[in-house]
């Protein structure tokens, strides 16, 4: 029983370290920079496309709010595009959000798998 608890504790500690290590990997930094750039760029283009025609947009911040909810897949529906180019941009933002989610998940999974492999080698007495 104590061995199971110790193994679980070792796994969870390794998992925590994997999460922290994944935050400083160059790919994670790149993805974070890409996400921020995509948010600002999409919000600006959405404001440029819809600002004059969409009655729900009161300013650029509303456009940023729409972009964040669309990129994350939440899409509350309180602000929706009314022009065809705005709808195309919203669809591209949805696809981009899905791709970013997959990339973040793959980065985290890779870090966890790497930790598990290292822990397995240590457990087997190999380094």
The pLDDT assigned to 125 comes to 57
Predicted confidence at residue 51, as pLDDT, reads 94
- Ranges of each domain in the chain: 2-123
Q: Report whether 108 contacts 22 (CB < 8 A).
A: yes
CATH class for the domain made up of 2-123: mainly alpha
- This prediction's pTM: 0.76
In this predicted structure, what is the pLDDT of residue 102?
95
Give average pLDDT by consecutive 10-residue segment, the chain, 127 residues.
74 73 80 94 97 95 96 91 97 95 89 74 58
Q: Which residues contact 81 (CB under 8 A, 6 or more apart)?
A: 46, 49, 50, 54, 87, 89, 90
pLDDT of residue 5: 76
pLDDT at position 123 is 58
**pLDDT for res 92:** 96
Q: Other C-beta atoms within 10 Å of 64: how many?
A: 17
């Amino acid at each position: 029983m104590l061995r199971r608890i110790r193994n679980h504790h070792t796994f969870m500690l390794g998992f925590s370290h994997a999460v922290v290590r994944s935050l400083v990997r160059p790919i994670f930094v790149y993805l974070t920079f890409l996400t921020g750039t995509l948010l600002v760029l999409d919000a600006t283009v959405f404001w440029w496309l819809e600002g004059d025609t969409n009655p729900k947009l009161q300013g650029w911040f509303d456009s940023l709010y729409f972009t964040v909810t669309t990129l994350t897949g939440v899409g509350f529906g309180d602000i929706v595009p009314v022009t065809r180019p705005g709808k195309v941009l919203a669809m591209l933002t949805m696809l981009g959000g899905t791709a970013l989610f997959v990339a973040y998940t793959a980065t985290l999974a890779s870090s966890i798998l790497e930790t598990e492999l290292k822990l397995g080698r240590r457990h087997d007495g190999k380094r």
